[in-house]
Chains A and B, each alone.
Chain A
Amino acid sequence: DIQMTQSPSSLSASMGDRVTITCRASQSISSYLNWYQRKPGKAPRLLIYDASSLQSGVPSRFSGSGSGTDFTLTISSLQPEDFATYYCQQSYGTVTFGPGTKVDIK
């Protein structure tokens, strides 16, 4: 299986901050990388697919980049509703998910 790692595992940020989360794959996955937001007790919400395609209805402050093994999710200006856990997921091989990055309030 392709292993996914994320860094940091958690971060504290303030509203309005620019936040960057990194995801790394254990082998090249081209651009087959998706990002999700998850809040407690809820199913994940798709934010970005194919590394940089913004899912319909997702605010433009979310963006994704990268290819190969290294990817980033950027939130340009953190809003109150963005405090959540973020997961990456690859679909190049058997689908696997990263362990998550928790974003909380500083």
Chain B
Amino acid sequence: QVQLQESGPGLVKPSETLSLTCSVSGVSIYSYYWSWIRQPPGKGLEWVGHINYSGDTNYNPSLMSRVTISVDTSKNQISLKLSSVTAADTAVYYCARHVIIAVAAFDHWGQGALVTVSS
């Protein structure tokens, strides 16, 4: 059974770096692409970026200058770092698996981690 679990601080100060980890169980990271997706309160879903097991990444251009996604194959984890955060980065952050390597459709999602940016 594939499970994804996001973890990390729920509160981050403005201008600091948001850091989240997605722990994957039930499947190896090697066979899939993995994305981060976020949803600010009252707003729609926004794709942040994706990574494969080799570490190849693709980011949303609107966030590219601030985002880093990495993979730790030894721990079967994917990480997200978003620098210089502002209140606009307050959101529920989800990690999700791509259904097929070549298809950016997301068949398994974590339960989401709420991150609030506030001093």
Contacts and interface: CB of A to CB of B under 8 A. Distances in A.
Contacts of A96: 47
A83 interface: no
A82 interface: no
Interface string A63-93: 0000000000000000000000001010100
A44 interface: yes
Given A55-B99, A97-B44, A97-B45, A46 B112 contact: no
Interface stretch (B8-16, B19-27, B68-76, B103-111): B103-111
Nearest to B35: A95
Given A55-B99, A94-B61, A46 B45 contact: no
Interface residues of B, number: 21
A94 B111 contact: no
A94 B37 CA distance: 12
In this complex, which of B47, B100, B107 has the most chain A Cβ atoms within 10 angstroms of its Cβ? B107
Nearest to B104: A91
A95 B112 CA distance: 19
Which 6 A-B pairs give the minimum distances between C-beta atoms?
A43-B109, A91-B104, A95-B47, A49-B105, A34-B105, A97-B45
14 contacts: A36-B106, A43-B94, A44-B45, A46-B105, A49-B100, A49-B107, A55-B99, A55-B107, A91-B104, A94-B47, A94-B61, A95-B47, A95-B60, A99-B44
